[in-house]
Structure 1
Amino acid sequence: MAIHKLDLGDFDEIDYLLVAIHTTLEDYRLAYLINQKLDINLSKNKDDIQVNSKEGEAKFSRFHHYNSDKTISWNLIQNRNEVFQEKKDSIQNLFSDTTLEVSTKVYLLPEFKKADYFLKIENNIEMIDLSIMKKLLNTIDSISTVYTVDINKIKSKNNLIF
């Protein structure tokens, strides 16, 4: 009987760029401004990215554009969100029947807590001039900084699979 061996080394290749964006803008406003600067058409994806953590289930907004001419996929992803949990007060007192709603911040990539959004660019990434793209994004007034994330330093890579 022959033994078949699968080599999964080809699947470990990283075929995307990840750009972190620091801004105070809302997601829809940021997507609009990126569309103007980069001449793409990011639109709200109906399926949010769901991540389960010890705090609870969090949903992160996602804007998507697929350029069929260059076969490049663009995703603007929210990095920070809040999870609300209801807690019952365990101490018996005058307010013992009240429930408290506690909010906890949850991150898509916890190792980059200061980044507000990520721009994930997939397929044919060699066609993109990253330095020009970062300069264009930095011209948006409400963006404080833009930088490329080293993919090898991300511990929670599975959150970027969607």
Structure 2
Amino acid sequence: MALHKLLVDDFYDASYSLIAIHCRLEDFRLAYLLNKYLDLKLQRKLQDLDYNYFDASFSIYEWENKKLDTVWNLVSNICKKDEATLQSSGSLFENSTTVTRTVNLLPELKTVDYLIKVSNEQRNFNEKIILNRIQSIPQVITTYSVDIEKIKSKDHLIFN
């Protein structure tokens, strides 16, 4: 009897594009500028992406274009958390300091500030035009398309 092993990658859905954005703006400002330059209607979701194993939450914006059957997501790739640490100094009093810890949604892309995920079954959009429009925003440092095949943590991109 033959044994057939199913891998997680057998069920992987590559019907989306991923765009990386390097930009030092706050998330709401970037969402406003993307709405303006790309003619989108991104709105912040009521709940952020919370990952218990990260102990972090990431802001997320979404717009569903029903005409083109496309879902746009803007998600922050960086979460900075202040944590209290106790240091033993041998004195009678506790010295507590805070340390800022940075957590990335996609650890492979540590320098990326934001990610845009465009989900579309037919892939009927021109990615180069989108990249050029995002790059025309003065506050954006750079933007580029991400090869999804090289990302190990694809499961972090499931937002629903």
Normalised by the size of structure 1, how large is the TM-score?
Answer: 0.87
Question: What is the CA RMSD across the aligned residues, in angstroms?
Answer: 2.0
Amino acid at match of 1:157: K
Aligned partner of 2:35 in structure 1 is 35
The DSSP-based 3-state class of the residue aligned with 2:123 is: helix
Selected match of 1:108 from 105, 108, 115: 105
Aligned partner of 1:78 in structure 2 is 76
Cα distance in 2, alignment partners of residues 123 and 47 from structure 1: 23
Identity of counterpart residues, as a percentage? 37
Q: C-alpha offsets along residues 113-152 of structure 1, whole Å, 9 cap, x if unaligned? A: 1110000011235211001111111110011111000001
Q: C-alpha offsets along residues 36-55 of structure 1, whole Å, 9 cap, x if unaligned? A: 111110001111112345xx
Aligned partner of 1:62 in structure 2 is 60
Amino acid at match of 1:45: K
Unmatched segments (≥5 aa) in structure 2? none
Aligned partner of 2:48 in structure 1 is 48
Count the aligned residue pairs.
155
Residue 159 of structure 1 deviates from its aligned partner by 1.1
Contact kept, 8 Å, 1:70 with 1:124, in 2: the verdict is no
Specify whether residues 120 and 92 from structure 1 end up closer, same or farther in structure 2 by C-alpha distance, changes over 3 A only: same
Amino acid at match of 1:43: Q
The DSSP-based 3-state class of the residue aligned with 2:17 is: strand
Amino acid at match of 2:24: T
Unmatched segments (≥5 aa) in structure 1? none
